[in-house]
């Protein structure tokens, strides 16, 4: 597998001078084509900041992100982001289909009818076949997030960055959405990076889990989830190896929580 994304020594502080808040402190890891990588870490350590840096949406103070061997200098159509807050990321005045079609930024030359046909296909893929002409506000939270995921896939980006995409949905919907995301990642051969607070979800979804330290954050562990590609909500979660990996990730995060609170300033 070739390397799709390579982060080297990423550094970022918010603000400057003595009041600066140091967030990223030399983050390095890489993601291969076809991999599903979860990123976890203590609350507020800088996961979203890191994801924005990987998307080319944040100016770094140091280090480089390379996407397919090229240094990233801003957003690229090859990388798309699905945000946690779907209610704000979807356009209330556009139908679900138009929201999905909006994701096809790269395909400016594609005819409208073709885009709409693909949009309908993607809505069907996320189980919303009959809701193309409805508006996001007519759907439940979980359904709205599925529209946002369909839009993320619509751009046909090779790398999908997911920032806590399931945080706001109920537990049963969350499990269904995890399986849907895994199925879509496989079907569309999508390389994915998922930021999540949920250690079980991180392990269940991923080929690898990157555990971050507290802020200013670095990579603490990079753990291979050697459970095979096929996952099952019942048997995978009962697998001894799953429990072992979950234990290691949880122990690492709890270790940071047990330490004294860090100063807000760098
Ligand atoms: N634009 C900004 N300007 C100043 N400080 C910021 C900015 N964005 C985030 N921060 C601060 O940087 C720190 C890291 O935030 P970030 O959202 O990246 O962490 P996180 O790990 O995703 O958080 P959470 O666990 O709450 O989801 C927090 O203390 C946050 O308040």
- Is the shortest distance between the CB of 14 and ligand 1 below 6 Å? yes
Does domain 3-78+157-258 fall under CATH 3.40.50.300? My reply is: yes
Question: Quick one: which atom of ligand 1 is closest to the CA of 264?
Answer: 29
Kindly give the distance from the C-alpha atom of residue 249 to the centroid of ligand 1, in angstroms, as a whole number: 21
Structure tokens at 20: 């600066």
Q: Which residues pair with residue 143 across a beta bridge? A: none
Angstrom distance (rounded) from CA 260 to CA 118: 52
Angstrom distance (rounded) from CA 97 to CA 131: 8
SS3 77: coil
Domain boundary assignment for the chain: 3-78+157-258, 90-155
Question: Quick one: which atom of ligand 1 is closest to the CA of 164?
Answer: 27
- Is the shortest distance between the CB of 165 and ligand 1 below 6 Å? no
Kindly give the distance from the C-alpha atom of residue 114 to the centroid of ligand 1, in angstroms, as a whole number: 40
What ipTM score was computed for the predicted complex, to two decimals? 0.96
Angstrom distance (rounded) from CA 89 to CA 86: 5
Kindly give the distance from the C-alpha atom of residue 130 to the centroid of ligand 1, in angstroms, as a whole number: 38
The CA dihedral of 8, 165, 223, 188, to the nearest 10 degrees, is -80
Distant-in-sequence contacts of 225-231, Cβ < 8 A, 24+ apart: 229/186, 231/179, 231/182, 231/204, 231/205
Angstrom distance (rounded) from CA 261 to CA 241: 32
Asked if 175 and 234 touch (Cβ cutoff 8 Å), the reply is no
Q: Whose CA is nearest to atom 8 of ligand 1?
A: 49
Helix (H) / strand (E) containing 163? strand 159-163
pLDDT at residue 262 in the model: 53
Instruction: Match 């995301």 to its residue by tokens.
Output: 181
Q: Which residues pair with residue 159 across a beta bridge? A: 79, 191
pLDDT at residue 261 in the model: 54
Sign, CA dihedral 228-230-233-238, equals negative
Asked if 189 and 157 touch (Cβ cutoff 8 Å), the reply is no
Cβ neighbours of 169 (radius 10 Å): 20
Kindly give the distance from the C-alpha atom of residue 183 to the centroid of ligand 1, in angstroms, as a whole number: 31
Question: Is the pTM value of this prediction over 0.80?
Answer: yes
pLDDT at residue 107 in the model: 58
Our measurement of the distance from residue 74's CA atom to the centroid of its chain's CA atoms, rounded to an integer in Å, reads 18
Angstrom distance (rounded) from CA 71 to CA 75: 11
Please give the chain's pLDDT, 266 residues, in tens.
699 999 999 999 999 888 899 999 999 999 999 999 999 999 899 999 999 999 999 999 999 999 999 999 999 888 988 887 777 788 999 999 999 998 786 656 567 888 889 899 989 988 899 999 999 999 988 889 889 988 888 887 899 999 998 887 788 888 988 998 898 899 888 999 999 999 999 999 999 999 999 999 999 999 999 999 899 999 999 999 999 999 999 998 888 766 655 555 44
Angstrom distance (rounded) from CA 74 to CA 153: 20
pLDDT at residue 265 in the model: 46
Structure tokens at 56: 């080319």
């Amino acid at each position: 597998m070739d390397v799709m994304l390579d982060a080297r020594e990423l550094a970022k502080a918010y603000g400057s001078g003595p009041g600066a808040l140091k967030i990223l402190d030399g983050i390095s890891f890489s993601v291969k084509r076809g991999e599903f990588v979860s990123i976890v870490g203590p609350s507020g350590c800088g996961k979203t900041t890191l994801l924005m840096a990987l998307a080319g949406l944040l100016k770094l103070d140091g280090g480089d992100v390379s996407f397919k061997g090229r240094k990233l200098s801003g957003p690229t159509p090859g990388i798309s982001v699905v945000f946690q807050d779907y209610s704000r990321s979807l356009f209330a005045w556009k139908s679900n289909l138009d929201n999905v079609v909006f994701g096809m930024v790269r395909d400016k030359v594609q005819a409208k009818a073709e885009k709409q046909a693909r949009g309908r296909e993607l809505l069907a893929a996320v189980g919303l076949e009959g809701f193309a002409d409805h508006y996001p506000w007519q759907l439940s939270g979980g359904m709205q997030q599925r529209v946002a995921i369909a839009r993320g896939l619509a751009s046909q980006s090779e790398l999908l960055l997911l920032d806590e995409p399931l945080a706001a949905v109920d537990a049963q919907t969350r499990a269904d959405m995890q399986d849907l995301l895994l199925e879509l990642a496989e079907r569309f051969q999508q390389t994915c990076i998922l930021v999540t607070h949920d250690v079980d979800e991180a392990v269940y979804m991923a080929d690898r889990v990157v555990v971050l330290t507290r802020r200013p954050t670095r990579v603490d562990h990079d753990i291979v989830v050697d459970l095979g590609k096929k996952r099952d909500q019942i048997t995978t979660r009962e697998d001894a190896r799953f429990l072992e990996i979950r234990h290691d990730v949880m122990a690492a995060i709890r270790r940071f929580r047990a330490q004294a609170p860090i100063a807000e300033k760098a």
